[in-house]
């Protein structure tokens, strides 16, 4: 199980099982936050707890997702999809930069062009360790 916590420790998340590849996105939001995302479904393998404030990102026709962040220290915890998928499940992604580096260092990175093409970019062999500055 992976665990992540905000800087002040008030809010946190858990992810059960293998997180798979981690996404680095260059959209207008993700590049500003500097987040790296691990995905699943809300209240399935991912659980978020503690206080959070929400920024709702507008989509083309209506709100698409909300970003949760700690109201005390400002760390970005996760995003949550606002459009349920078939069966009512909601996508969620947690910011793995909130996990201990040694727990996520070897996870492979998938790059996603959320700015221009909305396509996956070619794999370049990097892992989370390569993106810690």
CATH number at residue 17: 2.170.150.70
pLDDT at 85: 87
pLDDT at 95: 98
Residue span of the structural domain in which 107 resides: 2-131
- Rounded to a whole number, what is the distance in angstroms from the first to the last CA of the chain? 24
Express each pLDDT in 56-69 by its tens digit. Answer: 987 666 678 899 99
Residue 46: which residues within 8 A CB-CB, separation 6 or more? 13, 14, 15, 16, 38, 40, 78, 92, 93, 94
Tokens 């909130």, residue located: 98
Residues of the chain with pLDDT under 50: none
Express each pLDDT in 97-109 by its tens digit. Answer: 999 999 999 999 9
pLDDT at 117: 86
pLDDT at 100: 96
How distant, in Å, are the alpha carbons of 3, 14, 80, 124 from that of 98?
8, 11, 16, 23
User: How is the beta sheet containing 2-5 ordered, strand by strand?
Assistant: 2-5, 12-15, 46-49
Question: In the chain, helix, strand, coil percent, each to 5?
Answer: 15, 40, 45
pLDDT at 63: 72
Number of domains in the chain: 1
pTM of the model as a whole: 0.91
């Amino acid at each position: 199980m992976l665990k992540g916590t905000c800087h002040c420790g008030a809010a946190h998340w858990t992810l059960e099982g293998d997180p798979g590849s981690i996404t680095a996105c260059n959209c207008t939001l993700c590049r500003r936050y500097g987040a790296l995302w691990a995905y699943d479904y809300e209240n399935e393998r991912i659980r978020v707890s503690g206080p959070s404030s929400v920024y709702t990102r507008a989509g083309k026709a209506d709100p698409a997702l909300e970003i949760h962040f700690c109201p005390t220290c400002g760390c970005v915890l996760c995003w949550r999809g606002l459009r349920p998928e078939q069966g009512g499940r909601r996508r969620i992604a947690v910011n793995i930069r909130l996990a201990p580096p040694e727990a996520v260092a070897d996870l492979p990175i998938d790059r996603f062009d959320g700015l221009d093409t909305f396509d996956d970019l070619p794999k370049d062999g990097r892992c989370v360790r390569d993106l810690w500055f």
